[in-house]
Structure 1
Amino acid sequence: MKSNVVLMTILTCYFVVLGTVYTVWNLIDHGNVEWAGSTAIILSGGLTGFIAYYLAKTRKAQGGELIEDRLDSDIDDGDPELGEFSPWSWWPIVLAGAASLVVLGLALGFNFWISFLSIPLLIVAVVGWTYEYYRGYFAR
């Protein structure tokens, strides 16, 4: 994570210097500021600055050096438990299809009937995925 903080800090400095040079160059060459480019470059510096600050604060809150930063660590040292997943479950596919139909109905403008008819399917998919361990073969 230290390398990410250093990289984002370097990018912040680069974008701020580049934005300043770009703005001054436009003032000298054209006599006015080209607002789209100057704003985009300077705000890119602000964005990378926010990311660098967040990563630095997160690194400090986690105690400094992470497992990924140590040279003597193994791959298994940083292998956390990710959770329990159901490889047999069809509910995520049903949920993705229902959500895409809702968004499709909204995106097509006046075809709200697609969204209207697919909202019940969306609700059934969310409830089915939530309660899949409470019924059937894998009930607890």
Structure 2
Amino acid sequence: MKIEARIFEAIAAFFLIMMIVYAVATGFYRTGVEWAGVMGLTFSACLALLAGTYFRFVARRVEIRPEDYDDAEVEDGAGELGFFSPHSWWPIMVAIGASLFAIGFATGNLWFAIGCAVLIVASATGLVMEYYVGPEKH
């Protein structure tokens, strides 16, 4: 997780540097600083820093992975990665609900968007609870 933290922290540093360059460039070549771009780059830096901080925080709690070693080989990461449901329809339902919500929100159909939000919550609940209820229950 330290690698991911470094990547996002480097992205945050890049956005901060570009924000300063952008503010100086727009202030120099225009009548004033173009604040929409400055704020966009600032918020992008904050989001990247948020992700980097999360990965740095999680890196202290998990065991060291092969990706964290500088001299690791590909076969060091071999083994089981986790359980992935091969037949679940719930992710498709979440994607359909999210895309329909985006369409409803973008077109201003408030009731349609609210209905799609309910569909998203219901399908996400179904995805989470899939192996705790029904015939697949262990």
- CA offset at residue 139 of structure 1? 8.6
Pairs aligned (count): 113
The residue that corresponds to 1:96 in the other structure is 93
Letter in 2 for 1:82: F
Q: Does residue 75 in structure 1 map to residue 78 in structure 2?
A: yes
- CA offset at residue 31 of structure 1? 2.5
| Aligned residues of 2:5 and 2:52 also touching (Cα < 8 A) | yes
CA distance in 1 between counterparts of 2:34 and 2:59 reads: 38
CA distance in 2 between counterparts of 1:13 and 1:6 reads: 10
List 4+ stretches of structure 1 deviating above 6 A: none
The residue that corresponds to 2:56 in the other structure is 56
Q: 1:132 aligns with which of 107, 110, 134?
A: 134
TM-score normalised by structure 1 residue count: 0.59
- CA offset at residue 8 of structure 1? 1.2
Pick closer, same or farther for the CA change 1:58–1:31 going to 2, 3 Å.
same
Pick closer, same or farther for the CA change 1:29–1:4 going to 2, 3 Å.
same
Q: What RMSD over aligned residues (CA atoms) do the two structures have, in Å? A: 3.7
Mark the runs of 5 or more structure 1 residues left unpaired by the alignment.
Answer: none
CA distance in 2 between counterparts of 1:24 and 1:14 reads: 15
Instruction: Look up the SS of the partner of 1:58 in the other structure.
Output: helix
Pick closer, same or farther for the CA change 1:81–1:19 going to 2, 3 Å.
closer
- CA offset at residue 132 of structure 1? 3.0
Task: Give the greater-gyration-radius structure (CA).
Answer: 1
Deviations 1:27-85 (A, max 9, x none): 1111312121111111111111111111111101214x224334152411xx24416x4
| Aligned residues of 2:3 and 2:67 also touching (Cα < 8 A) | no
Mark the runs of 5 or more structure 2 residues left unpaired by the alignment.
Answer: none
- Output aligned runs, 1:6-21, within 5 Å: 6-21=6-21
